[in-house]
Amino acid sequence: MANIKIHFLGASGTVTGSKYYLETPEINIMIDCGMFQGLKELRLHNWEPLPIKANQIEVVLLTHGHLDHTGYLPRLVKEGFKGKIIGTAPTLSITAIILRDSAKIHEEEAAQANKIGYSSHNPALPFYTMEEAEKAIDLFQAEERDKWIFLSENSKYRFRYNGHIIGATFIEFEIFGKLFVFSGDIGRKEDALLDAPQRPGWADFLFVESTYGNRLHPQENVEDIIIGLIDKTIHEKGNLIIPSFAVERLQSLIYLLWNLYKKNRIPNISIFVDSPMGNNVLSVFENYPKWHKLSISDYKAMCNHVNIITSYKDTWKTIDDPRPKIVIAGSGMVTGGRVLTYLKQLIDEPSTTVLLVGYMAEGTRGRQLLEGAHELKFFGKYHPVKATVAHLESLSAHADQQGLMDWLKNIKNIPEKVFLVHGEPTALDSFRTKIKDTYGWNVHIPKLYEVLEIVI
């Protein structure tokens, strides 16, 4: 008999901060190590010490590189973690890019808050520094997918391809003969750049994301909608601003716009890509061709079709450029990054259109825009929203409820317990009911910091 303790340290009742800590008789591991984003009450958790001892964690396994799955790593190291941080090679490349970019933003925001004085903290401190990010990156170790790797005598894991973003996997972790499956974020069956996710065939204990647990992606004609917005932008001599996640979404948008131009469905409108992190991610696609569908020639042609902005000086040149244009800039939920500079200057212009693509978490500026906010706060000041706001939910990199159910249907056994994570309350409850009605499985929705003990 073996006792396993599972600590739910994030993504419980919310879509951010994914962190699960497993105490086993032989080894202590953490699955993902994400930052909380969105609502202030969630972000405050980032600053609280973890209710576990970081120096007792021996290994961190990463499902993929997004900030809400990796952004706490530098703090974990600061709290005393000295073990290995393991992921697929593209996941670690993405994670390194994201951590460095995040550290830079934290440092810049703290410096600006201290200069302008809009923070209640004196002095305002960065959540972590570039030096702290580098210490975490020094602990990275890449492993292949589909290969069982032993961590101790009675525990082993393997990474399985999961779509969503380049390098993303779900994790099968076998402990004393029982299979624990962590879904990470599940991609979509039909994706322009990535293959369909693999699916688990067995799970004794299943931890599954529920981002779209209560929704189906709308049957939108994405190309026609984008063509309409571009026509409007040209007619009004305005700006089409697309806040974008730097990983996967930005590359998908570039590919989509390049294809539309190639098919003569849109004119040669100027397209600016202003996301230092997104530009770096493009190189990950070049370095790991077996993880996506793009040929090298298509990749190069797609990149040559857009103007890559590399300096903040060029950001301002782009804003001042009077021509109608498309700007794709980070971040996706309008929480930070270069897109804030564009919106601060252009969101009060009726000729501006803001196109939101994908999921907008509670408490983010993206969600505020989606819900019709008449003003937005940037760097301590409010700005009126006179721009048109459009939304394309069908570009999300997450599987919808049907996609999630399809991902589950290959499981041959009846899991002893299913844990629903990474979803807002209504999505979690709806998905719980769907699984129970369809499969009759025992489903539990854990609360933040809940600890469960499993006897094997």
Closest CA to 182 of 300, 8, 13: 8
Closest CA to 340 of 353, 331, 327: 331
Distance between the two ends of the chain, CA-based, in angstroms?
A: 5
Beta bridge partners of 23: 5, 28
The residue whose two tokens read 């600006």 is: 112
Residue ranges of domains in the chain, CATH in brackets? 3-215+397-455 (3.60.15.10), 222-395 (3.40.50.10890)
Distance CA 10, CA 421 (A): 9
Query: What is the Cβ-side half-sphere exposure of residue 191, based on CA atoms within 13 angstroms?
Result: 27
3-state secondary structure of 266: coil
Distance CA 250, CA 383 (A): 26
DSSP annotation of 450 reads -
User: Which residues lie closer than 8 Å to 177 by C-beta, 6 or more apart?
Assistant: 154, 456
Distance CA 358, CA 150 (A): 37
Render each residue's pLDDT in the chain as its tens digit; 456 residues.
Answer: 799 999 999 999 999 999 999 999 999 999 999 999 988 899 999 999 999 999 999 999 999 999 999 999 999 999 999 999 999 999 999 999 999 989 988 898 888 888 776 666 678 889 999 999 999 999 999 999 999 999 999 999 999 999 999 999 999 999 999 999 999 999 999 999 999 999 999 999 999 999 999 999 998 899 999 999 999 999 999 999 999 988 888 999 999 999 999 999 999 999 999 987 888 898 999 999 999 999 999 999 999 999 999 888 999 999 999 999 999 998 888 988 889 999 999 999 999 999 999 888 888 999 999 999 999 998 889 999 999 999 998 888 999 999 999 999 999 999 999 999 999 999 999 999 999 999 999 999 999 999 999 998
Closest CA to 310 of 271, 280, 342, 340: 280
Phi, psi of 269 (to 5 degrees): -70, 145
DSSP annotation of 45 reads G
